[in-house]
Amino acid sequence: MNENQYPIEIAWTDLEAIVGSDNIWPACSRDMVDNLQPEKVIAPADAHEIAKVLQYCSSADLAIIPRGGGTKLGWGNRPQKANLILSTERLNRVMEHAWGDMTATVEAGCTIASLQQELKEHGQRLAADPLWPDRTTVGGLLATADNGTLRLRYGGIRDLVLGVEVALPDGNVIKAGGKVVKNVAGYDLTKLVIGSLGTLGVITRATFRLHPIPAATATYCTLLSNTSEATQIVLAILDSQLVYTGLQVRADNPHQISVDVRFEGILESLQDQAAKLNKVAGGAPFVQGSSEVWKARQELFSHAEHSVMCKCSVLPAQIGMLCEAIFSRAQSAAVSSIVVAQATGVAEVRLNAARVLSAVEVLNGLRAELGHLDGTLVIQQCPPAVKEALDVWGAVKDALPLMQQIKGKFDPARTLNPGRFVGAI
């Protein structure tokens, strides 16, 4: 050993002692987060090793960025510090598929696609369709609470998780919730960690409630010429007794708007639903469409390195207004835009701006306008310069002090993702 080694070298040696020398290696440019270069990547074997690493880093004042599939590392504000990437790649097993109970327990590093593959053997699925299922891991999905088109019928990911195991910065591994579908014992820490962007602990395992894979699926689409008509149709379908499992609005200009509906179930029922759909929709004829339309949300993200991707949340009846606001602001700033809105009122928006300033102008304007509607705008992915100009989360009103308190209780040394979450938590 070198007598003149820096303390950081001691830290690497200590961490090696926890995970083994094969499981910590120098980070490279591919491991950068928002142009911040971490020094090492560490891949612990299990929850207890993760907890030990967290505890060690807390005391050594090293910052950790937890990483699953690495698909959403650009989400959140730029980290204030990033010494280590903590990869969950070695925790990748489906622990249990209790198909009779319609539950499954999975390690955090397992991808959504491989989980679904396993569940399929017994005709079941996790009724969620997040972005990039081939690479997205269970841990990453929970940390970002990314919800897709199935949320409208099956609830968000928060509603599909029964329990979690979490490694905390104090070195403990805790469990919250359980394996049964109904459980009110103790606080619902599961909800607290879902969507917390890895700022409270590292999720190491989750138990999901499952649903049967539907016997058949059918998609119907209609093309409309203005946003208010699209909103009316969405509201009419929401107000109907149709059993849809997806309802979305796609638009890249104010005069060509597609409304998509998905039905799932037994074949006879789908035909019945399709017939009723055209009665509910009144004048707008729905025709059978491709199931590919449900990938529109993910497609927005393709080759979007120079674009701004954001998530707008409004009430269902405000979807038309949201589209109008986006198109008019984008147009006046010479920015092109595409909207894929779910009938839940959550819309994914892509802005293609040649100049950063124009994008920032549109975003600030939109955020202010949505504020009046009690809606919110969160930037998910954008060029670094945009992050320098504004907070990706926007303002969190009077609950921020409470959120800061909670962060302080779980991660007092700010080891996990410092600065990335709301209010630079």
Residues 343-402 within binding reach of other proteins (CB under 8 A): 344-346, 374-376, 378, 393-394, 396-400, 402
Is 298 one of the binding residues for other proteins (CB under 8 A)?
Answer: no
Indicate the DSSP class of residue 162.
E
DSSP for residue 99: T
Structure tokens at 266: 């037994």
Stretch that binds other proteins, among 53-61, 264-272, 292-300, 301-309 (CB under 8 A): 264-272
Choose one: 36-44, 136-144, 263-271, 357-365; the region binding other proteins (CB under 8 A). 263-271
SS3 content of the chain, % helix, strand, coil (to 5): 35, 25, 40
Our CB check for other proteins shows the closer of 75 and 301 to be 75
Q: How far lies 340's CA from each of 217, 228, 351, in Å?
A: 21, 15, 12
Query: For other proteins, which stretch binds (CB under 8 A), given 30-38, 149-157, 222-230, 277-285?
Result: 149-157
Which of 60, 94, 221, 238 contacts other proteins by CB under 8 A? Answer: 238
347 touches 380 (CB < 8 A): no
Please report the DSSP string for 119-153 in residue order.
HHTTTEE-S---S-TTT-BHHHHHHHT---TTHHH
Side-chain-side CA neighbours of 13 within 13 Å: the count stands at 8
Tell me the closest approach of the beta carbon of residue 269 to other proteins, in angstroms: 4
Q: Which residue has the tokens 């080891």?
A: 415
Nearer to other proteins, 31 or 165 (CB): 165
As measured in angstroms, the least distance from the Cβ of 334 to other proteins is 28
Map the footprint of other proteins across residues 5-64, applying CB under 8 A: none
Q: What is the rounded CA–CA span in Å between residue 152 and residue 198?
A: 25
List the one residue from 48, 93, 311, 387 that touches other proteins (CB under 8 A): 311
Q: Draw the binding track, 152-191, toward other proteins (x: CB under 8 A; -: no contact).
A: ---xx-xx------x-x---xxxxx-xxxxxxxxxxxxxx
Q: SS3 sequence, 198-244?
A: CCCCEEEEEEEECEECCCEEEEEEEEECCHHHHHHHHHHHHCCCCCE
Determine which residue in the list 212, 282, 283, 384 makes contact with other proteins, applying CB under 8 A. Answer: 212
In whole angstroms, the minimum distance from the beta carbon of 124 to other proteins comes to: 8
Shortest separation between residue 366's beta carbon and other proteins, angstroms: 15
Q: Which of 30, 303, 372, 409 binds other proteins (CB under 8 A)?
A: 409
94 binds other proteins (CB under 8 A): no
Token pair for 164: 């979690």
Taking CB under 8 A as the rule, does residue 229 contact other proteins?
A: no
Among 20, 26, 123, 283, binds other proteins (CB under 8 A): 123
Is residue 230 within the footprint of other proteins (CB under 8 A)?
no
Residue type, 415: T
Strands 124-125 and 211-212: antiparallel
Q: Which amino acid is at 213?
A: I
Phi first, then psi: give them for residue 107, nearest 5 degrees: -75, 155
Interface with other proteins, residue 274, by CB under 8 A:
no
* Nearer to other proteins (CB atom), residue 4 or residue 241: 241
Least separation in angstroms between CB 394 and other proteins: 6
Is residue 262 involved in binding other proteins (CB under 8 A)?
no
Under rule CB under 8 A, residue 198 binds other proteins: no
Closest CA to 285 of 227, 235, 224, 222: 222
Residue of 3, 6, 35, 100 that binds other proteins (CB under 8 A): 100
User: Cβ closer to other proteins: 5 or 405?
Assistant: 405
Separation CA 173–CA 181 (nearest Å): 22
Residue 282 binds to other proteins (criterion: CB under 8 A) = no
Nearer to other proteins, 10 or 395 (CB): 395
When asked if residue 216 is in the footprint of other proteins (CB under 8 A), the reply is no
Task: Give the HSE-up count for residue 400: Cα atoms under 13 Å, Cβ half-sphere.
Answer: 11
* CA distance linking residue 262 with residue 293, whole number of Å: 10
